[in-house]
Amino acid sequence: MSNLPLAFILGLLGSLHCAVMCGPIMLSLPLEKTSYLKSAFQLLLYQFGRILIYTILGVFVGYIGSSFTVFASQETLSFIIGLLLVVFTLLHFSGKYATSLGYFQAKLLSPIGKLMGRLYGLPLWGFFAGMLNGLIPCGMVYLALATALNSASVKEASTFMLLFGLGTCPLMLMVSLGGVYLKRYIKFNPNKLVPWFMLFIGTLFILRSANLGVPFLSPHHSSHVHSNVEVCR
């Protein structure tokens, strides 16, 4: 029950949220206006550092998920994660805990922003700033990590987060290289996309745990392998 086909698509679709929310950070990077190549190099380092952090986080949740499957099946883990995602979505739509969550994210963002400011001027500042960006509280990253948690192995979980990060790159690079401030052109709050993605993934996880035999949505997880037994005489 691999989730890898979802990874790049989730990153690509969720990159609109990332580009709008992190757009001001990307546009405030101290790029050298006299050298486009040096600026592009630092921006690529920025993306590499961000994706590296996503991959490391994928390794971490992969260990958690693989440890859980020692005590319960992957289908059980899929059902639990799906149910939690649906519950969190309903809480979000009800308006409860929204203020507390926003306050918590702001508290985490403040020290990260200060560290970013201290990195500017270093030879490879783009790489380290990208790593810090990967730690910024983000609903899409949380959703990707929840999906990676349901992976069958550490390798698959880290690969999922790697593909997710790569999926966010095209739009993020367009914003940073082109100096496009998407918030000027988008008339809705991209934060509203996250709960709908969360509801979709949560429902998908619940369906996939049901073992209904529907390809991709709810495939069979167990297969019977028949083998011939050779008797030595």
Give 34's contacts (C-beta < 8 A, 6+ positions apart). Answer: none
List the single range of 106-110, 195-199, 228-232 with lowest mean pLDDT: 228-232
Decide if 213 is inside a domain.
Answer: no
Strands (E), the chain: none
Which residue has tokens 């700033």?
129
Decide if 214 is inside a domain.
Answer: no
The pLDDT tens digits of the residues spanning 53-70 come to 999 999 999 998 888 766
Q: How confident is the model at residue 228 (pLDDT cuts 50, 70, 90)?
A: very low
How many other CB atoms are there within 10 angstroms of residue 33's CB atom?
7
Dihedral, CA atoms, 126, 13, 196, 216, nearest 10 degrees?
-120
Decide if 146 is inside a domain.
Answer: yes
Structural domain containing residue 123: 4-208
Residue 87 above 70 pLDDT?
yes
Residue 38 above 60 pLDDT?
yes
Query: From CA 40, how far away is CA 36, in angstroms rounded?
Result: 6
Residue 196 above 90 pLDDT?
no
Q: How many domains does the chain have?
A: 1
Residue 185 above 60 pLDDT?
no
Decide if 82 is inside a domain.
Answer: yes
Decide if 64 is inside a domain.
Answer: yes
Query: From CA 98, how far away is CA 116, in angstroms rounded?
Result: 27
Residue 159 above 90 pLDDT?
yes
Supply 99's token pair. 């203020």
Decide if 192 is inside a domain.
Answer: yes
Kindly give the residue spans of alpha helices, DSSP state H, lying in 95-215.
Answer: 98-119, 125-134, 139-149, 154-178, 193-209
Query: From CA 107, how far away is CA 128, in angstroms rounded?
Result: 21
Decide if 228 is inside a domain.
Answer: no
Residue 33 above 70 pLDDT?
no
Supply 47's token pair. 């993306």
Decide if 60 is inside a domain.
Answer: yes
Q: What is the mean pLDDT of residues 137-145?
A: 83
pTM of the model: 0.75
